[in-house]
Amino acid sequence: MTKLKVTIAGIEFDARFEDAAPQTVAAFRAKMPFKGQVVHVRWSGEGVWIPLGETDFGLGYENHTSYPAPGQIILYPGGISETEILLAYGGVHFASKLGQLAGNHFITLTSNTDKLADLGPKVLYEGAQDILFEEIDA
């Protein structure tokens, strides 16, 4: 049995994949372990994101939202803006300079969520931080 772990700026979070987004979960799992860097959002409020440019996960919308709650991770599959992954650490209204967007809610952090309030300002004031998504033996 494995569990999902997300590490951001050295902070480890347990997480779960969302059953309501099976296609997004499968597409993302195929790219794991997934390493990147988060930067602070520009238009959406209290969130950090991984810009993915023209990356094509081959997805449409499922379990999508413009208002992820703190600890929820969404994947925007591209279209009117670039592909991206966003983590809400506070209030988010997901958008780009082209207007409101919706992303597929496919992961939820389940531990250390009290650390999210510190994570956002760290990324904002200190710059890009490493992120790693991995499945580990439970």
Domain boundaries of the chain, sorted by first residue: 1-134
The tokens of 32 are what?
């794991």
What is the pLDDT, as a whole number, of residue 46? 96
Report pLDDT for 2.
Answer: 77
Q: In angstroms, rounded to a whole number, what is the distance separating the alpha carbons of residues 55 and 116?
A: 27
- Fold classification of 1-134 is Cyclophilin (2.40.100)
pLDDT tens, 19-63? 999 999 999 999 999 999 999 999 999 999 999 999 999 999 999
Do residues 123 and 38 lie in contact, with contact meaning Cβ atoms separated by under 8 Å? Answer: yes
pLDDT of the residue at 138: 77
pLDDT band at 114 (very low <50, low <70, confident <90, very high): very high
Beta strands 11-17 and 2-8 are: antiparallel
**Nearest of 31, 40, 45 to residue 8 by alpha carbon:** 40
* Reported confidence tier of residue 119, pLDDT bands at 50, 70, 90: very high
| Distance in angstroms (rounded) separating the CA atoms of residues 74 and 49 | 9
Position 1 pLDDT exceeds 80: no
